[in-house]
Amino acid sequence: MTPGPEDRPGGAGPAERTAAAAGRPTRASSRTDGHPARPAVGRATRGPADGLATPAGPGSASAGNAPRRPAYEKHTAPEARRGNALHAGAWWLWALGLATAASRTTNPLLLGLIVGVAGYVVAARRTDAPWARSYGAFIKLGLVVIGLRLVFSALLGSPVPGAHTVLTLPELPLPDWAQGIRLGGRVSAEQLVFAFYDGAKLASLLICVGAANALANPARLLKSLPAALYEAGVAVIVAMTFAPNMVADVMRLRTARRLRGRPTGGVKAILQIGLPVLEGALERSVAVAASMDARGYGRTARVPAAVRHTTNALTLGGLLGMCAGTYGLLAAEGAAYGLPVLGIGLALALAGLRLGGRRSIRTRYRPDRWGARAWLVSGSGAAVAALMIYAGTVDPEALLPGVVPLVVPGLPLWPAAAILIGLLPAFVAPVPPKEASQ
Amino acid sequence: MIRFEQVSVTYDGAPAPALRDADFTLPEGELTLLVGPSGVGKSTLLGAVSGLVPHFTGGTLRGRVTVAGRDTRTHRPRELADIVGTVGQDPLAHFVTDVVEDELAYGMESLGLAPAVMRRRVEETLDLLGLNELRDRPIATLSGGQQQRVAIGSVLTPHPKVLVLDEPTSALDPAAAEEVLAVLQRLVHDLGTTVLMAEHRLERVVQYADQVLLLPAPGAPPLLGPPARMMEISPVHPPVVALGRLAGWSPLPLSIRDARRHSPTLQTRLSPPSAPPPPSASPAFEARGSGGEAPSFGKGRGGESRPQGPGLLARLLGRTNTAQPPAAPAPPAGPTPPAAPANPTAPAAPTAPAAHVTNLSVRRARAEVLHGITLTVTPGETVALMGRNGAGKSTLLSTLVGTVPPTTGQVTVCGRTPHRTPPPDMIRHVGLVPQDPRDLLYADTVGAECAAADSDAGRPAGTCRALVTALLPDVPDDTHPRDLSEGQRLALALALVLTGRPGLLLLDEPTRGLDYAAKARLIEILRGLAADGHAIVLATHDVELAAELAHRVLILAGGEIVADGPTAEVVVSSPAFAPQVAKILAPGHWLTVAQVAEALEDTP
């Protein structure tokens, strides 16, 4: 649990609530646990009538006059605020865990389950922020991927042998030198099913990434970057605030074209608007740069020359080591030294980054803290990934259903149960406030 | 605190220095107002304090600028960040992050303050500026006044000794401007912050100033002195000063309160007990009767070439009315004769209205931006739309021009439904000059812009150029529109819109960034157009402009019309929208200095 630093007075309701609903005697929990369950949370199951103090539960004799509320209530997810916000990295780890799980299977039932889990969590915990609306776009992108995969499979053929012919496309005769390539021709059901499974896997990966994108505040994620990478983070944040401004500029200028009596659509309009929009963006970026400069951006601490040189050497050496290590891993004969060199390179580069951070005098205002809820969220993703990888070694058949012959894929029970672990964030992550967009 | 020693700034490639021989010292804990017409180097001077000039902008700075003992030559802007806080003209261009709370912390993060200190100062600043309810809001969703407060807050958190502001209230409605100024005053009084601020709308700020730094003309050295003395010689001054000069009050009053102490004598001179001024007539016209010459208001800039104004424009545009089927009767002397108090807005002759709006509602998503608006604008009438930021003024203009379709209700402009009429047809009936005139400018020379406007509107070549010549006598064809000053750009956009000879002219916040001289020219031009039979609707925060120009004022609040009537009646009764002269001479019905001047001539 990550108690918020500022406690607001708990909702009025919980204080009067009796332990009746819990069905067992509970200890009056402290009012300062930082997780006042507000009525808006809606997830806290509570007695049918708050006002009725009916000590009905077995052994509820201890229900006295002290303000009481069910013990589990302090464990229900609090309303999200700045102080208790879930670390953006936790969402990404969770989503990458789901994505890893998706990459291990082509079973459409399991993939569907993964997408369902991701979708449920997004529906339960996303805010009204602009990035949160991108989830729909990712789902559409996933569908497009499946469609494309099917179309290409039908057009270009597939190595999958198949007995059931669905339709026959007119085949395009190709010259001799293009042997092995086929355009059109017979399309079999097996090949289409295979393509669908494959496309569905890719689409699930995309949707998992989309879920992370919808749930994690990108600006906060960038704030968690190490100090040495801060500049890059700022560049991305400024770019992110610029994109909506440019869109607004385009809308405004298109409207303005109407005022000059010109059509607002068409290529000509875009060309004519393009230059003023770019000019505006340039002017704005210069203004932001001036503002950042005047507000102290880029102030650096003096570091001794020795530290500077060490930083350079560490970073450079680390990167070289990582290159050599990767080459070793991929090349046929270097597998023995590849991994250690890669590890050393990585360690050197990280040390370089850490040392490089000394030049920056920046401090961080209210960084997201990695609390128990963040552990639970990221842990659930990791658990899904680990269990699916394990399932792949134990029962590969169930995870990768065959297409020749065509069979109805079965639902392997315990991998499916493992995926359901991914629902945990929908219960432990703080609930975004309802009025966030107002 | 701020010390300029023989400072001159010359930008690269500029023939003359933008700022010359600045030599002054601003003491600690005072609010200094930087005053001067457009283009005299106000922004350059402000930039020199924060070190952005010349470190960021380029150019050559001669002399020495020291802020709290730090020389800006050896200290880059980022090294002055803990001493100087700078807020530019456009708050949106100032923001680096996307949420209010992060924005407030940004400067402190850069300076490397301890997290506990940052947290405390953010909370203090949220309270100081009344931003606590907005702390988690994305900045893009805030109103203009709120954004301006966030911008000020974001530079306050590092506790700077000097605050530099460039036109902090120009874009704000009167109430939001008061809010910002109250904060500034509190900073000066309670925290001892030194504030240096440039502002065109002197009527809002001059009474708060401890000192005035006057840049009288381009290339002239700045003068520093107490506000009353500086205002005596300043070419730009608010109406209260103009009235004081006219009446010969000494010392010159700067605030309404001071002026009201002097006002009884003027009141008796103005209105002999036997003949009180007619209360219902909209007196803006009486001033027009004297040839449209405003005797003292805004005429300070000596040698300012007067627009050739109504005469030429009337000739250029005069054909409009005859060409148009429901011809507006050419108003002989004043567009709207002073009408009976019962229905003061209706013109004497029954003419087709220039615009007619019935029960209009506009929704954006779930928000009702406009609700139940009913409005008629007659040819020759000038209507001022007022109200706070976000009250729906711009949306109403957009529905009139057809860029926003009404959700329910009817909009008819010159017999057409704007959003269903194709744009080329529409621009001959209604024209809108948007808030930022640059939105209308695409070409890279004034000449090309004019040629495009002629072909867009289907007018003979040269129509637009003639208009531009009338409005901007000395702008050559090959000037790039971006090189024009704010006022010139506005005039160019106006000319482009007028090329279509629209019967209804709409202007959105036309005086933003204009100095008094440019504003006076705009007023002349618009009066000429109104006299010509154009209906004009302007959305503005500028009460002085409305007082000078409008026959009728509509006040919008929350998307509904809450007041509609002749200017004199509506604005005089409102504390926020009353012009200074009306406040000083209440309960009289004078709105502008020009009217008072004329009345004084009549009653020697």
Q: Residue B347 carries which side chain, given as an amino acid letter?
A: P
Is B361:B368 a contact under the CB 8 Å cutoff? yes
**Does the global pTM surpass 0.80?**
no
Q: How confident is the model at residue A118 (pLDDT cuts 50, 70, 90)?
A: very high
Tokens of A153: 């499979």
Residues of B in contact with A237 (CB under 8 A): 96-98
Give the mean pLDDT of chain B.
82
How large a percentage of chain B has pLDDT more than 90?
A: 32
Write the DSSP symbol of residue A438.
-
CB nearest to A296's CB, from B78, B94, B118: B78
Region label for B291, one of left (φ > 0), alpha (ψ between -120 and 50) or beta (otherwise) = left
Q: Is B95 on the interface with A (CB under 8 A)?
A: yes
Q: Which of B589, B545, B204, B562 is nearest to B384 (CA)?
A: B545
Inform me whether the pLDDT recorded for B333 exceeds 50: no
Instruction: Give me the mean pLDDT over the B315-336 stretch.
Output: 42
Q: What is the distance in angstroms between the Cα of B86 and the nearest Cα belonging to chain A?
A: 7
Inform me whether the pLDDT recorded for B288 exceeds 60: no
Q: Are strands B367-377 and B382-386 parallel, antiparallel or unpaired?
A: unpaired
Tens-place pLDDT, residues A8-27 = 443 334 433 433 343 444 44
Inform me whether the pLDDT recorded for B276 exceeds 60: no
How large a percentage of chain A has pLDDT more than 90?
A: 26
CA dihedral (A26, A27, A33, A34) in degrees, to 10, reads: 40
Would you state the pLDDT for residue B223?
93
Minimum mean pLDDT among B317-321, B328-332, B359-363: which range?
B328-332
Residues of A in contact with B398 (CB under 8 A): 255
Tens-place pLDDT, residues B503-558 = 899 999 888 878 888 888 889 989 989 998 899 999 998 888 999 999 999 999 98
State the Rg of chain B over Cα.
25
- How many helices (H) does chain B have, and how many strands (E)? 22, 19
Would you state the pLDDT for residue B37?
86
Would you state the pLDDT for residue B99?
87
Q: How confident is the model at residue A337 (pLDDT cuts 50, 70, 90)?
A: confident
Say whether B427 and A272 touch across the interface (CB within 8 A): no
Inform me whether the pLDDT recorded for B330 exceeds 50: no
Q: What is the distance in angstroms between the Cα of B51 and the nearest Cα belonging to chain A?
A: 8
Say whether B112 and A299 touch across the interface (CB within 8 A): yes
Q: How confident is the model at residue A297 (pLDDT cuts 50, 70, 90)?
A: confident
Tens-place pLDDT, residues A235-245 = 887 777 777 77
Residues of B in contact with A262 (CB under 8 A): 423-424, 456
Would you state the pLDDT for residue A69?
65
Q: Is B497 on the interface with A (CB under 8 A)?
A: yes
Q: What are phi and psi of B226, to 5 degrees?
A: -65, 150
Q: What does the alpha-carbon distance between residue B567 and residue B581 come to, in Å, rounded to a whole number?
A: 13
> What contacts A90, CB < 8 A, 6 or more positions away?
A370, A373, A374, A375, A377, A378
Q: What does the alpha-carbon distance between residue B599 and residue B269 come to, in Å, rounded to a whole number?
A: 9
Q: Is B456 on the interface with A (CB under 8 A)?
A: yes
Minimum mean pLDDT among A275-289, B73-87, B395-409: which range?
A275-289
Q: Residue B137 carries which side chain, given as an amino acid letter?
A: R
Tokens of B404: 């926003």
Say whether A294 and B51 touch across the interface (CB within 8 A): yes
Is B82:B161 a contact under the CB 8 Å cutoff? no
Q: Which of B162, B156, B160 is nearest to B121 (CA)?
A: B156
Give the mean pLDDT of chain A.
79
Q: Which of A31, A24, A94, A27 is nearest to A60 (CA)?
A: A24
Q: How confident is the model at residue B361 (pLDDT cuts 50, 70, 90)?
A: very high
Tens-place pLDDT, residues B445-496 = 888 889 988 888 888 888 888 888 888 777 888 888 888 887 888 889 999 9
Q: What is the distance in angstroms between the Cα of B426 and the nearest Cα belonging to chain A?
A: 7
Would you state the pLDDT for residue A332?
66
What ipTM was predicted for this assembly? 0.77
> What contacts B315, CB < 8 A, 6 or more positions away?
none
Tokens of A30: 């402290």
Instruction: Give me the mean pLDDT over the A323-346 stretch.
Output: 81
Would you state the pLDDT for residue A335?
64
Minimum mean pLDDT among B112-121, B224-233, B274-283: which range?
B274-283
Residues of A in contact with B118 (CB under 8 A): 363, 365-366
Q: What are phi and psi of A377, to 5 degrees?
A: -65, -50
